[in-house]
Amino acid sequence: MIDIENGSIILVNKPYTWTSFQVVNKLKYHIKHKYGVKKFKIGHAGTLDPLATGLLIICIGKFTKRIEEFQAKEKEYTGVFRLGATTPCFDLEKPIDNEYPYIHITDDDILRVANSFIGEIDQTPPLFSAVKVEGKRAYELARENKEVELKSKKIIISEFEVKNINLPDVEFRIVCSKGTYIRSIARDFGLALNSGAHLIELERTRIGEFKLEDALNVNEFDS
């Protein structure tokens, strides 16, 4: 049951290729038709890229006032970096633009570089991101082929586990602070290995105390 009057939190497993906004609209439509409510507040706490899957917190009613609180919580992700190639957006949304050698990279190199990312680091967001530059989203300027200089910011990576190495692919688990772009970690990871890299899989498994295993699938909200 969804408590519209007092507010609710709904954990949803965002499907591949869906935008976070599409998930919100799906739930909004479901609530309107199932509960007969025409007007209510609804929003999500932390955008996931279309090619990412995993945990999305949907806030309804009074809980929309807590969106910033949920956004500030620590995040956990699992995924795969592919070494030896880059894309303009650092994931699979755009085609490969450059290829690099990766045969020289050893397992020890990968483990060493992963460990070097742990702690507070400076990170520059991807050009294809929702970061605002002079009132416009960076991805809007990028699509207009305008030159954009994005400022770096401090983030914290508290855990960086290399789960499996099968070159050119590296499977990982990362626990990080608010505002971390895993796509940017892919770029920086490749550079640190004297190669290139991009993100080919990403799933958000946890936001603070909220876990993906407790989330619902969008098809459970069909009216």
pLDDT digits (tens, 9 = 90+) for 46-96: 889 999 999 999 999 999 999 999 999 999 999 999 999 999 889 999 999
Query: In which band, very low, low, confident or very high, does the pLDDT at 36 lie, cut at 50, 70 and 90?
Result: confident
- Virtual CA dihedral for 144, 48, 155, 174, nearest 10 degrees? -130
Same fold, 8-72+209-221 and 75-207: yes
Q: Helix axis angle, 182-192 relative to 107-116, nearest 10°?
A: 130
Q: Among the listed ranges 26-30, 102-106, 199-203, which one has the minimum average pLDDT value?
A: 26-30
User: Which of the residues 49, 91, 122, 222 is marked catalytic?
Assistant: 49
For the chain, give every domain's residue range. Answer: 8-72+209-221, 75-207
Tally of helices (H runs) and strands (E runs) in the chain: 5, 14
- pLDDT tens for 111-144 read 999 999 999 999 988 776 566 655 666 556 556 5
Length of the chain, in residues: 223
What is the rounded distance in angstroms from the CA atom of residue 127 to the CA atom of residue 125?
6
In this prediction, residue 140 carries a pLDDT of 62
> Mean of the per-residue pLDDT values for the chain?
91
- Virtual CA dihedral for 119, 125, 126, 128, nearest 10 degrees? 140
- Catalytic, 214? Answer no
Helix (H, G, I), strand (E, B) or coil at 191: helix
Non-local CB neighbours of 106 within 8 Å, separated by 6+ positions:
none
What is the rounded distance in angstroms from the CA atom of residue 135 to the CA atom of residue 123?
21
- Virtual CA dihedral for 160, 95, 85, 201, nearest 10 degrees? 20
In this prediction, residue 114 carries a pLDDT of 98
- What is residue 30's DSSP assignment? H
> CB count, 10 Å around CB of 98?
11
Whether this model's pTM surpasses 0.75: yes
Fold of the 8-72+209-221 domain:
Pseudouridine synthase (3.30.2350)
In this prediction, residue 125 carries a pLDDT of 82
Fold of the 75-207 domain:
Pseudouridine synthase (3.30.2350)
In this prediction, residue 164 carries a pLDDT of 98
- Virtual CA dihedral for 7, 10, 16, 19, nearest 10 degrees? 10
ω into residue 125 within 30 of 0, thus cis?
A: no
In this prediction, residue 126 carries a pLDDT of 77
